Amino acid sequence: MRVLMFGWEFPPHIAGGLGTACYGMTRGLARNDVEVIFVMPKASGDEDQRFVKVVNASDVEALYTGDVATGADDIMRKMSFIHIDSNMVPYLSPEEYETHREEYLRTGSKTWEVPGDVWTQRYTFSGKYGANLLEEVARYAVVAAQVAKDLEGQFDVIHAHDWLTYFAGIAAKRVSGKPLVVHMHATEFDRSGENINTQTYAIERAGMHAADMVIAVSNLTRNIVIDRYGVEPEKVVTVHNAVRFAEKQTELPERGVDDKIVTFLGRITYQKGPDYFVEAAAKVLKRVPDVRFVMAGSGDMMNHVIRRVASLGIADRFHFTGFLRGDDVQKMFQLSDVYVMPSVSEPFGISPLEAMRSNVPVIISKQSGVAEVLDYAVKVDYWDVDAMADAIYGLIKYPALAKMFSSKGLEEVTGLKWNNAAAKIKSVYEQAIDKCNRQK
């Protein structure tokens, strides 16, 4: 089986768990005899391609001709609700594109000229999550149509990860006629609560309704997809994420301090609950002074959290590392005595598995998808900072308790392999292909 997969990031250059999941998944699929062509907006050339072929969308010349034009037209029409202030001349925004196209249809002109011959140029994606993100999502859809055309006959199914690539998946499906599977790693409700971005929600909804099958990373996410997006339950399948064990053991880093270390690692945003971690830390430090708390990550709540740490008078016990990547993540886990993931809403959450892999006891919120597959993790409500503080205190003050959770946790996480998750994903592909064949 051959899969055309659309993602936004791939190790070693990642911004979060999505890239890590894509890497483990593609390795697992390779071991299940599934060939993957992984398309991403901007590849750096140093990606591990032993198990996957990486296509750099920034190298693809999207030609506005034939079937590709038809696919691009359709996608652009569906994206007309997105307002984009384009500053990338001579490229056109979706609205500008639609305006030119309507003029073409109104005049009945045989030749439609646009500045710079927009569809015969390459678009250099940043591959970031910045101000031009929606514009890049639009461009990615056009390039996806071209990639699907170029690879005609070389894939059996399309797989698109998260809302950033859903329109790309739809474009590829329209051009190729192949079935589409979309993967929901995090919904807009997870990221923003009830104050959702309606544009993002609309893209997520359109992608899942256009798909033949939808993969949710947890039952928690599956229920949101069904209840909040109106997707048919029979086409939504839960496949829990997994964790990949390192191919070689790394040396334990020197600690440099005798204090216990309690770690938060993730984006410092509302969804991840960093403020609850700070409040729990303050309560622990009133009982045990020789503890250091580490917040590893970056995000829009960073300044708020720093100010709160200062106002609580615990700045000398708190360390902010900034965003960590690669081996530094592994080192941070190895230095930790306890790992805490206090997420307000977490579709899954790979980081606790990575901590358990390093023999570290973990505390997770009950509002996380990973809680569905872990027995040997301490589970608390994200908002219950007293319970969170008690859990931290217990794990740092009672070695036998910490040892039990770390040893049993390591045994448990060893069974959560990407090979097994990939086998389930392959089964979803087969269902999508069968469904598509029956509809023809």
| One-character DSSP codes across 108-124 | T-S----TT-GGGSB--
Residue 125 included in any domain? yes
Tell me, what's the pLDDT at 80? 35
Kindly state whether residues 72 and 113 are assigned to the same domain.
yes
Q: Is 193 in the same domain as 271?
A: no
Which pLDDT belongs to residue 85? 31
In a domain, 254, yes or no: no
Give the per-residue pLDDT at 256.
79
CATH at residue 12 = 3.40.50.2000
Instruction: Find the domain containing 377 and state its range.
Output: 260-414
Q: How many CB atoms lie within 10 A of CB 158?
A: 30
β-bridge mates for residue 264, sequence order:
295
Residue 301 counted as domain residue: yes
For residues 435 and 405, membership in a common domain is answered with no
pTM of the full predicted structure?
A: 0.81
Same domain, 102 and 197: yes
Residue 132: the pLDDT is: 64
HSE-CB at 439 with a 13 A cutoff on CA atoms is 10
Task: State whether 61 and 150 are in the same domain.
Answer: yes
> Are residue 432 and residue 382 in the same domain, yes or no?
no
In a domain, 135, yes or no: yes
- Residue 248 forms part of a structural domain: no
pLDDT tens for the chain, 440 residues long, are 999 999 988 887 776 678 888 999 999 999 999 999 999 988 888 888 888 999 988 888 775 444 443 444 444 444 433 332 322 222 333 444 444 445 544 544 433 333 444 444 566 776 666 556 777 888 888 889 989 999 999 999 999 998 989 999 999 999 999 999 999 999 999 888 888 888 889 999 999 999 999 999 999 999 999 999 999 999 999 999 998 876 555 667 778 788 999 999 998 998 899 999 999 999 999 999 999 999 999 988 999 999 999 999 999 999 999 988 878 988 999 999 999 999 998 899 889 999 999 999 999 999 999 999 999 999 999 999 999 999 999 999 999 999 999 999 999 999 899 999 999 999 999 999 999 888 87
Angle in degrees, CA 78, 15, 371, rounded to 5 = 90
Q: How many domains are there within the chain?
A: 2
360-372 burial: b if 16+ Cβ within 10 Å, else e: bbbbbbebbbbbe
Query: Do 219 and 272 fall into the same domain?
Result: no
Is 247 a member of any domain?
no
62, 79 Cβ separation under 8 angstroms: no
Closest C-alpha to 48, from 69, 72, 73, 22: 22
* Residue 280 parent element (H or E): helix 274-287
* Closest by CA position to 137, among listed 148, 153, 126: 126
4 Cβ neighbours under 8 A, 6+ residues apart: 37, 39, 147, 148, 151, 154, 155, 157, 158, 159, 172, 176, 178
User: 3-state class of 37 per DSSP?
Assistant: strand
- Does 372 lie in the same domain as 280? yes
Q: What pLDDT does 362 receive? A: 98
pLDDT value at residue 255: 81
In a shared domain, residues 217 and 157: yes
Tokens of 34: 């599934």
Asked, for residue 253, whether it belongs to a domain, the answer is no
Determine, yes or no, domain membership for 249.
Answer: no
pLDDT score of 121: 54
> Do 170 and 280 lie in a common domain?
no
Do 129 and 44 share a structural domain?
yes
> Is 320 in the same domain as 207?
no
Q: Which amino acid is at 410?
A: L
Cβ(159)–Cβ(430) under 8 Å? no
The per-type count for the chain, helices as H runs and strands as E runs, is: 15, 13
